[in-house]
Structure 1
Amino acid sequence: MSKKEALTRAAAELLWERGYTGTSPAMILERAQAGQGSMYHHFSGKAELAVAGMAYMSDQLRSRTEEVLSGEGSAAARVNAFLDLERDPLAGCRMGRLAQDYEVVADDGLRVTMADFFTWLSERLSAVLAEGVRAGEFRPDTDPDVMASLIMASVQGGYVLARAHQDPAAFRRAVDGAKQVVASLVVDPNRG
């Protein structure tokens, strides 16, 4: 692994663990086992390195998500597979946690990197839901964009509740609620 890759991965890990504000360049250098010169050889500073770390996290999340959303089965089954992805509720969402960091939201470069992931996820979920509507699997009055937002909000809210209560079951209840809503959209319950 190159020093640039090591720095990017270290930044991604620390952003998830500590957030942008709580992560210092020194912490990244220590985690990556790299010298200060190496960081500034590859990145102009903390913000550019954080963008690279966020892009790395986004790529990982997109890959896992795309695998289940483009898999076999009905639209409902694929949405449920997304909701059932293995997650660590007490650690929180890699990208969602960054939305609560003032410095990320205040910096357009950081915010846009995070927002791009959620835009992609919303569009991808909406596309699967639209497939289900077109195929007659979901009720014709189903709004794929609204449902995609609800599904994403359930997952993100589940993380918040789990962390607030220090109880992974809170996450599961939020996700199970989203699954119940998806099931209520299915025209033929034996299909989903």
Structure 2
Amino acid sequence: MYTDRMTTSDRLIEATRELLWERGYVGTSPKAIQQAAGAGQGSMYHHFAGKPDLALAAIRRTADEMRAAAETALSGGGSAYARVEAYLLRERAVLRGCPVGRLTMDPDVMASEELRAPIEETLDWLRGRLTSVFQEGLDSGESTASLEPAELAATVVATVQGGYVLARASGSPAAFDSAVHGLLGLLRPLSSRTD
């Protein structure tokens, strides 16, 4: 998880990211963060004003990584369908759930406008980015979809997030895979070419 070259600030952020993913906001105590990061209380408060400040930095980093991974898949070559397929089939820690999506279930995170903001921005960005990919498919004549690109984008995001929930509930990534492959089967006929 940590490298010798990581700063104390980075170790604190990384520890907080992991703990938020595993335990949620309430379960992520400053003491647990310090222990996981191998940092003292003085170091934590030297770099961050407190737990909310550190949690915000961790959530932002998680959101940035999610955007970067999605952008890599969605900006690759090929048809719109091929890029959406690459996004849907990219490697994920399915049984751990989405590190951003899981935060939407945390009432303490959702109650804080500041902590909620990067989550909303990231999910809005993802829907917007997928909408643009579907629109490119329509504009190029690749797609014959009668659905609005924004509706297709919302369906993709809902399928991924719901797939995480189904996989966690069943204890098997097969539920996620089934949802994704089912959606791809529905999208395939909308595309006249799939590269």
Q: TM-score range by the shorter chain?
A: over 0.9
Q: Give the corresponding residue for 1:55.
A: 60
Q: Give the corresponding residue for 1:191.
A: 194
Counterpart-to-counterpart distance in 2, 1:35 and 1:191: 54
Q: Give the corresponding residue for 2:32.
A: 27
Counterpart-to-counterpart distance in 2, 1:40 and 1:89: 34
Q: Does 1:173 align with 2:178?
A: yes
Q: Does 1:94 align with 2:99?
A: yes
Alpha-carbon shift at residue 184 of structure 1 (Å): 2.8
Aligned length: 190
Tell me the SS of whatever aligns to 1:99. Answer: helix
Task: Report runs of 4+ in structure 1 exceeding 6 Å deviation.
Answer: none
TM-score by length of 1: 0.95
Counterpart-to-counterpart distance in 1, 2:152 and 2:30: 39
Q: Give the corresponding residue for 1:115.
A: 120
Tell me the SS of whatever aligns to 1:90. Answer: helix
Counterpart-to-counterpart distance in 1, 2:22 and 2:7: 23
- Choose which of 11, 17, 27 in structure 2 pairs with 1:6: 11
In the TM superposition, 1:14-163 aligns within 5 A as: 14-139=19-144, 141-163=146-168
Tell me the SS of whatever aligns to 2:27. Answer: coil
Alpha-carbon shift at residue 49 of structure 1 (Å): 0.6
> Quick one: which amino acid aligns to residue 191 of structure 1?
T
Counterpart-to-counterpart distance in 1, 2:117 and 2:64: 15
Counterpart-to-counterpart distance in 1, 2:42 and 2:170: 42
Contact 2:188 2:194 in 1 (8 A): no
Alpha-carbon shift at residue 140 of structure 1 (Å): 5.2
Counterpart-to-counterpart distance in 1, 2:100 and 2:55: 12
TM-score by length of 2: 0.93
Counterpart-to-counterpart distance in 2, 1:115 and 1:179: 25
Tell me the SS of whatever aligns to 2:96. Answer: coil
Counterpart-to-counterpart distance in 1, 2:92 and 2:163: 11
Contact 1:133 1:142 in 2 (8 A): no
Alpha-carbon shift at residue 181 of structure 1 (Å): 2.2
Question: For each residue in 1:46-73, what CA deviation from the matched residue of structure 2 results, as whole angstroms up to 9, or x when unmatched?
Answer: 1111110011111111111111111110
Alpha-carbon shift at residue 143 of structure 1 (Å): 0.8
Alpha-carbon shift at residue 142 of structure 1 (Å): 3.1
The worse-fitting range, judged by mean Cα deviation, of 121-130 and 132-141 is 132-141
Any gaps of 5 or more consecutive residues in structure 1? none
> Quick one: which amino acid aligns to residue 194 of structure 2?
R
1:140 to 1:180, Cα distance in 2 relative to 1, 3 A: closer
Tell me the SS of whatever aligns to 1:51. Answer: helix
Aligned identity (percent) is 47
